[in-house]
Amino acid sequence: MKLSYVYILTNEYRTTFYIGVTSNLKNRSIQHFLGEGSEFTKKYNIKYLVYFEEFTDIKQAILREKQLKNWRHDWKINLIKQQNPLLKTLDL
């Protein structure tokens, strides 16, 4: 069974968020940190992992990613704070 992840990255000031989906969270986090993840994350210096969810079905992960991308900014912050109250960078 291959796992998939929905993840949220942010910048140093925790003001801008990026939501993505991947099957290899560690490698994808490293790519973003090195500025190789996407043009958006590179442009806004978004490279700090603050939240992720694990899925056994990639289709469910993609649906969750789309759902979260439509959420308001404050909803995303509240979701992150449920598991990471201080919005600290997560280590994998």
Q: State pLDDT tens for residues 41-85.
A: 999 999 999 999 999 999 999 999 999 999 999 999 999 999 999
Task: Tell whether 29 is covered by a domain.
Answer: yes
In this structure, is residue 90 part of a structural domain? no
Does 92 map to a domain?
A: no
Q: What is the CATH number of the domain that holds 30?
A: 3.40.1440.10
Task: Band the pLDDT of 1: cuts 50, 70, 90.
Answer: confident
How is the chain classified by DSSP, letter by letter?
Answer: ---EEEEEEE-TTS--EEEEEES-HHHHHHHHHTT-S-HHHHHTT--EEEEEEEES-HHHHHHHHHHHHTS-HHHHHHHHHHH-TT-PPPP-
| Number of domains the chain contains | 1
Residue 88 in any domain: the answer is: no
**Residue 29 lies in domain:** 4-83
d(CA 63, CA 66): 5
